[in-house]
Amino acid sequence: MYFPVSGVDVSPLWPPLVAFFISFFTSMGGISGAFLLLPFQVSFLHFTGPGVSPTNLIFNIVAIPGGVYRYLREGRMAWPLTWVVIIGTLPGVFIGVILRIEYLPDPRPFKFFVGCVLLHIGFRMVYDLSGRGKKIQEEDNKRLEERFSRHVKDVQKRKRAKLVAGLPPEAVVKTLELRWNRIKYEFFGQTFSFNTPGVLALSLIVGIVGGTYGIGGGAIIAPFLVAIFGLPIYTVAGAVLMGTFLTSIAGVIFYTAMTPIYAHTGLQIAPDWLLGLLFGLGGFGGTYCGARFQKFVPAVYIKRMLCAVILVLSLRYIWQYFT
């Protein structure tokens, strides 16, 4: 099948199948999977124009609601964290679109910078997972994860191993304190807090990266929230997915609005809606299934998956800079 906007010629079955496989695993850690679809489109579909970025964002818009629905239904949406991420990310998305079109026609130097940042975070997560960098809060998170896993196993036994969405009252996110510089919430009987200006600054940087390459930013911000801010992955995943969903809508609108302004340059800026929708359909099923299965997977496995993905992505960016 030929896609005239992007110039891609591929069977219509491949985009949804690839998207389902990717998003099933990445959504467990609060990542839509768009950051892996970008290399797939560039390397395998040979879609290299700026339009590949908003096409990825269309994938986010279609794919993410399935996962978000599960987190909302189970009461695991940390709304204060979600809105802080959104407020910080939106301006960054707009800046990123301008950088992609106007100031970064050659993305190699910027990819190298992103690769270095991700490499640092990846090694930080390796250090934490090795057991040598444990802190008191990390020990608390570990106890939380063990309690959560034990509860899920008990539910499985009572329901004869059937997958159910029911959680006890204490396994939902409850906001305890809202201040301009700190937000505190409770999950599963344990209290967590984060520095609001710090998350806002992080979200702005992530928005710039996400707007430039159309990756949503979940692949970057989720590990920071877990490894640096010490928040449990069970509450981070839903907030990051919701933030990525809303900022992706803004990104697609902005790219579309910029298309006629830069028509004289000959750059392919507009998104390929049909290709993006096919990716999104597969991603919708993948994120829904991934969010449904997340509570049955120990958090340490999700963290290891995130760590491996970040390291691979960072090394890919750095390698491309020197080749």
Establish if 236 belongs to a structural domain.
Answer: yes
Establish if 34 belongs to a structural domain.
Answer: yes
Return the exposure string of 101-113: e unless at least 16 CB atoms fall within 10 Å of the residue's CB, then b: beebeebeebbbe
Based on its alpha-carbon atoms, the radius of gyration of the chain, rounded to whole angstroms, reads 19
Helices (H), 193-232: 196-213, 218-227
Establish if 33 belongs to a structural domain.
Answer: yes
Sequence-distant contacts of 161-170: CB under 8 A, at least 24 apart: 163/292, 163/293, 163/296, 165/70, 165/73, 165/74, 165/292, 167/74, 167/75, 167/76, 167/295
Report pLDDT for 107.
65
> What 3-state class would DSSP assign to 295?
coil
Q: Residue 246: give the domain boundaries.
A: 2-130+141-322
Establish if 146 belongs to a structural domain.
Answer: yes
Residue 310 tokens, joined:
């970040």
Establish if 135 belongs to a structural domain.
Answer: no
Establish if 21 belongs to a structural domain.
Answer: yes
Report pLDDT for 283.
86
**Number of separate domains in the chain:** 1
Establish if 136 belongs to a structural domain.
Answer: no
Establish if 183 belongs to a structural domain.
Answer: yes
**What whole-number distance in Å separates Cα of residue 124 and Cα of residue 130?**
10
Report pLDDT for 160.
46
List, edge to edge, every strand of the sheet that includes 173-178: 173-178, 182-187, 190-195
Q: Which residue has tokens 């707009």? A: 94
- pLDDT tens series, the chain, 323 aa: 899 888 899 999 999 999 998 888 777 765 667 777 877 887 788 887 788 889 989 988 987 787 788 778 877 788 888 999 999 999 999 999 998 888 876 767 767 877 787 787 778 767 767 765 555 445 555 555 565 566 555 655 554 444 444 455 556 778 888 888 999 988 777 888 899 999 999 999 989 888 887 877 776 788 788 878 888 877 888 888 888 888 899 999 999 999 999 888 888 898 999 999 999 999 888 878 887 776 677 767 777 877 887 788 889 889 888 87
